[in-house]
Amino acid sequence: MMLTLKDVADYIAGLGIVDADHIWIGKLQDKVEKSIGVYPLKRAGIPRQPVGGTDHAEKRISILVHWNKSVLETEKASGTLFYKLMTSRNVTVNDQIILFNQMQVSDPVPVGTDDNGIYEYVIEMDVIYKR
C-alpha cells in the first residue's frame, strides 16, 4: 500500500499539536492561525531504496507550520512538532505502519511571515513505512 498525504496528516493530528481540522493537505485553506499544511516534498532525484529493502518505502514530505504573530511561539510549536516526528517509531495510522521519519533538516526552517504577519516554519522529512 502507498502512504498518502491524508495518512501523514492523520498521523500528525495524532501527535496532539493541533486539532485535525487545523491540518491541511495540498493547500492551506483560509490561513487560519495555528494550522499545519502537509505537502509532497518537491525534491529532484532518483527513487531511493529505503533501508529494509522492498518491504519498505518512503514518502517525501514538507510540512508548513503556520502559527501566529509571535516568532517565539511559532518556533516553539515547530520545535515540538519536529521533536515528536523525529522520535516517533512504529506508529500505525489508517492501516499503515510508519516505521520512522528521516529528517531532512537539522531544525525547523524559518520562512518568514505571510501577508498577515503570521510566522511560518518548514519541516522536511522522509517518512519510512511498510508497504
State the average pLDDT over residues 56-80.
Answer: 96
**Total domains in the fold of the chain:** 1
Mean pLDDT of the chain: 92
CATH code at position 104:
3.30.2000.30
What pLDDT sits at residue 52? 61
Quote the pTM value: 0.92
Beta bridge partners of 95: none
**pLDDT over 80 at 93, yes or no:** yes
| Domain range enclosing 79 | 5-130
Q: Mind listing the pLDDT tens digit for each residue in 16-64?
A: 999 999 999 988 877 899 999 999 998 756 666 656 667 888 899 999 9
Contacts of 57 (CB under 8 A, 6+ apart): 2, 3, 50, 128, 129, 130, 131
